[in-house]
Structure 1
Amino acid sequence: MSVVDALQVVLADEHAAVYTYGVLGARTSQAATPALLDALTTAHRRHRSRRDQLRTMVVEAGGEPVAAAAAYELDGAALRPAQVEAAARDLEGASVEALLALVARSTGTVRGWALTEATWSATWQVGLGATPATWPGAPELG
């Protein structure tokens, strides 16, 4: 897999993350769970920024950025705050895996950027209640 291909995989993951965080935010009550809504909003902004950066990186690497899907299949059961939080943890876990695959296939500034973003997602996942892992994003190493 080339660096452009790896960037495209992460970009597709980010399209899904932006969509999913929007849905999770819509399922969260600002009055009942303001801290959760703030966390989802922060994550949504980070993933949107990440998606935009990835588009630029794909173009700079000579590729045509993959487009977002019209919609994504989501778990309709994620309606209660604990379920929304669990869905966000899973989303960050998937992001860590995709970003670490990019780390493995890249060098220089792309690699540094992917490692920084993987670290953010792994830390954010713990902030959402996940158990810290020795090798986040690479459970086969644990």
Structure 2
Amino acid sequence: MSEVQALQTVLAAEHAAVYVLGVLGGQTSQSASPGLLTSISESYAMHRGRRDHLTRTLADLGAVPASSQAAYDVPSDVGTPEAVTREALALERSCATTYAFLVGSTTGDLRAWAMRALQMTAVRSLVFRGTPEMFPGEDEQADR
């Protein structure tokens, strides 16, 4: 797989992450769960920034960046803070897997950026009650 194809795959994942985090934020009460809303908002901003960076990177490489879908599958049972936290953690773990894929599919500056994104995604999962893992994004190597 080429670097451009790998970047397109990760961009598609970031489009989905931004969408889902927007829905999770909409299900989170500022008054009842201010800490959770702050965490969701910070994750949303981080993923939106990555999405925008990937879009620019692909354009700079002469590729047409993948566009977002009109809608994405969102779990229907996100009406409680616990459910929102669970889904946010699942999203961050999924993104970690995607960034681990990007690390393995790129070189140079792109790989360094992917490694930083993987590290930050692993850290973000801790915010949503995840556990530290030796190899984030690599399920078969996880310390569980």
Query: Which TM-score band (shorter chain)?
Result: over 0.9
Is residue 97–residue 138 contact of structure 1 (8 Å, CA) maintained in 2?
Answer: yes
Q: Which runs of 4 or more aligned residues in structure 1 lie more than 2 Å from their structure 2 counterparts after TM superposition?
A: none
Superposed counterparts of 1:1-142, under 5 Å: 1-142=1-142
Distance 2:99 2:78 in 1: 25
Give the deviation of 1:61 after TM superposition: 2.2
Kindly indicate whether the alpha-carbon contact (under 8 Å) linking 1:4 and 1:62 is maintained by their aligned counterparts in 2: no
Q: CA deviation at 1:108?
A: 1.1
Shift, 1:134, TM fit: 1.7
Gap runs ≥5 in structure 1: none
Q: CA deviation at 1:109?
A: 1.0
Deviations 1:83-106 (A, max 9, x none): 100100011111111111111111
* Residue identity in the other structure for 1:123: V
1-side partners of 2:100 and 2:60: how far apart? 20
- The code of the aligned residue for 2:95 comes to S
TM-score, with length taken from structure 2: 0.96
Tell me the amino acid that sits aligned with residue 91 of structure 1. Answer: L
Secondary structure (helix, strand or coil) at the match of 1:25 reads helix
Q: CA RMSD in A?
A: 0.8
Whether the 8 Å CA contact 1:14–1:50 is kept in 2: the answer is yes
CA shift at 1:62, angstroms?
A: 2.4
Gaps of 5+ in 2: none
